[in-house]
Structure 1
Amino acid sequence: MATVTTGTYLGEPASASMAEIGVCAEVSPLPAGFPAKFERPLAWNGLEIKQEDYACVLTASDLVEINAAIEYFKSLELDGSCVSRDTFPLPQLGLKLDKLGLDLYQGKGFCLVRGIKPEAYSVEDLTLVYLGVNSYIGGQHGRQDGRGNMLVHIVADNSSSTQAEHHRHSNKSISFHNEESGDIVGWLTRNTAAKGGKCIIASAYTVYNVLAETRPDLIRILARSDWPFALPRFHCRPVIFHRDSNLVMNFGRTPLLGNTAHPRPETLPSLSERQIEALDAIEAIAQATQLEITTQTGDMHFINNLAVLHRREAFVDGDQAKRHLVRVRLRSPELGWELPEELQKEWDTAFSEEGNQTWHLEPMPSGYFPLRMYPN
């Protein structure tokens, strides 16, 4: 019988077995091809992990390389979207970042790069550093919305009730979820909140292992293709997939249930009680095994979006301490997993070479649209 060793699950002490806390122990077969357990580094428990296990702290020589790369890139007189390994060379630090990228796909699925001091750089140079690190971590950037935004600024905005409820601009807590596209999701912390705002992650593999042992019936529910996602378009698909020996989890409560910022049309199907139970089970297990990452200004942290869930705690901004994260979606063409067919369309849209790409250094008003410059 499985034992949860951190946090709480369904309101009971974490040390209690699933039988002791009232989880149905009846056994039903797992979906065809799904394993009884994943024995992988991706299946981790947050309380068993220390910061030194996932943090890459930049050294003085690393910073010298970064500053030299900034000057080299500027000498090329290229657009910021052209940052790559070739245009932002990091001879020794690049080897460390390569290992982090490999660990995102084949190791524990998350990492932190610490040591950049934002006050030492202009906004333009700080963004170059971020893009430079990205080029080693994932290599390829993806669009994050229909406007072609490549850099999404996550800041609180209570200018309207709709804005205040949007995940990007709310200061409320957010439940565990995945982004709708991108192998890797990264965040640069340009500023922290006065209080709260921790980034919290959990292993989808651990969630699966607990459910596979104690509630395989919910695994079957999650693997069915009748989940009615409403965003970014209406489509039905599973929440979990098993492809090429990898577990892939991809979902969010807003696309399935709606919220104030994204009201769900009444004409769309609603979730069943069993589906809601499955979502609640994911949330409970994830919270019981989560890892809290307290970021500092200048931190860059990355997760495997296919295997690691993330959420945010509520936060309060001060007069000067206003939380500001810059999010990217990445993928590595060399290390990327085989994607389920049901997710391929979102990845193709995000990473296609065709289409607009907009790179904003600062948050823009919601009604903003970029003007193109044409020669006279």
Structure 2
Amino acid sequence: MSLPPAQITGPSAWYGPDMAQRSAEWIRPFTAAEIAEIAAVAGPLAEQQVEIASLRQADFPLPTLGPILADLKQEILEGRGFALLRGLPVADWGLRMAATAFYGVGLHFGRACSQNGKGHVLGHVQDLGLSSKDPNVRIYQTSERQTFHTDSCDIVGLLCLKQAKRGGHSALVSSVTIYNEMMKRSDLARHLFAPLATDRRGEIAPGEKPYFEIPVFNWHAGLLSAIYQRQYIDSAQRFEDAPRLSAETVAALDLFDALADDPALNFEMVLEPGDIQLVHNHNLLHDRTGFEDWPEDAEKRHLLRLWLSPEDARPLPEVFRQRFGSIEPGRRGGIILEETKLVAPMTARG
């Protein structure tokens, strides 16, 4: 087992309160000219109802904004790990225009991946009145707190269309900082470098187990990458053939959660309509607080989501192939089943 140094330094090893004070560094408003440039491409595509899932970066040229997004992508992949683009006029645009614009901007960060067994490359994050107690329900389909986790991709993007009546705030924490703090306090971190079962929640590709076995912490090519969803680690224990969690591993997971939840490490941000949040999954975890929604369907909390795979993403260890399908940058991540056909639905139940 290859282990990192006891303390990892660099721009991704940040603390939440400090980062919250530096919002001018990571909030980047769109200019009027940039919005016009996006609209000039997205407008005709939306009007013609072009299948969004068929689009490639070349179909969405952004001669002025594109180089800015390329620099921002490097900051996400190699720097602090996240950014917030602010100010798309989504209320004026309507759903299809906003979805097309978001997808086109997202393509400048990577190829879009399927987010479920239905092949949805455009996800709708909404409360569908479901409960995570159902082993085939994923938490983003509920109004529950998600808890800190990673998604099955290199970069996750969110576009806020509608805010909740109360709550539903986004939170981030550095998994590098969590590792550093664990190492300061105990030797429990070493238990998270061993594979452990994580529930696939019913989305199982041919020949795969109903769970994957990847360590929470992975040290590869001089980089620490994390993959984590505590609820799905716990629910994988329902499978008789899943490796049992040792007392030491449970203690390590509990310490990991306590540190992730510590306001000395994490911070919250409020996504406003028109905001695009971009997060590097390999060295950050994200969370969403529980929320109370509006009673009117037209006003309910609604975000669009992208899972993105950049061609210049970091190398990943072989074990990630279990979840990512491939470990080739630009061709990895997402959930692909035998019957999967890529689509970009306009509703959460599409």
Q: Deviations over 1:162-219 (max 9, x none)?
A: 499640222121221111x20011111111100000011100010111112222x212
Q: Which amino acid aligns with 1:108?
A: R
Q: Which amino acid aligns with 1:359?
A: A
SS at match of 2:57: coil
Q: Quick check: 1:323 aligned with 2:301?
A: yes
Q: Deviations over 1:334-366 (max 9, x none)?
A: x211111111232226468x95112111111xx
Identity of aligned residues (%): 26
Q: CA deviation at 1:149?
A: 1.6
Contact 2:2 2:219 in 1 (8 A): no
Q: Give the corresponding residue for 2:4.
A: 34
Q: CA deviation at 1:133?
A: 1.0
Q: Deviations over 1:62-103 (max 9, x none)?
A: 111111122454699853223333211111111221121111
Q: Quick check: 1:196 aligned with 2:167?
A: yes
Q: Using the alignment, how far apart are the partners of 2:234 and 2:47 within structure 1?
A: 50
Q: CA deviation at 1:155?
A: 1.0
Q: Deviations over 1:315-342 (max 9, x none)?
A: 0001244111122110111x21111111
Q: Quick check: 1:308 aligned with 2:284?
A: yes
Number of residues paired by the alignment? 327
Q: CA deviation at 1:251?
A: 1.7
Q: CA deviation at 1:266?
A: 4.7
Q: Quick check: 1:287 aligned with 2:261?
A: yes
Question: CA separation of 1:313/1:164 partners in 2, compared to 1, >3 Å: closer, same or farther?
Answer: farther
Structure 1 length as normaliser, TM-score?
0.80
Q: Which amino acid aligns with 1:150?
A: V
SS at match of 1:205: helix
Contact 2:99 2:304 in 1 (8 A): no
Q: Give the corresponding residue for 1:230.
A: 199
SS at match of 2:107: helix
Contact 2:172 2:267 in 1 (8 A): yes
SS at match of 2:34: helix
Q: CA deviation at 1:44?
A: 0.6
SS at match of 2:325: helix
Q: Give the corresponding residue for 1:134.
A: 106
Structural mapping, 1:6-21, within 5 Å: none
Q: Using the alignment, how far apart are the partners of 1:213 and 1:166 within structure 2?
A: 34
Q: Using the alignment, how far apart are the partners of 2:122 and 2:238 within structure 1?
A: 27
Q: Using the alignment, how far apart are the partners of 1:358 and 1:339 within structure 2?
A: 27
Q: Using the alignment, how far apart are the partners of 2:2 and 2:17 within structure 1?
A: 32
Q: Which amino acid aligns with 2:292?
A: V
Q: Using the alignment, how far apart are the partners of 2:317 and 2:2 within structure 1?
A: 15
Q: CA deviation at 1:47?
A: 0.6
Q: Where does the alignment leave 5 or more consecutive residues of structure 2 unmatched?
A: 204-209, 327-332
Contact 1:157 1:163 in 2 (8 A): no
Structure 2 length as normaliser, TM-score?
0.86
Q: Using the alignment, how far apart are the partners of 2:160 and 2:49 within structure 1?
A: 27
Q: CA deviation at 1:255?
A: 2.2
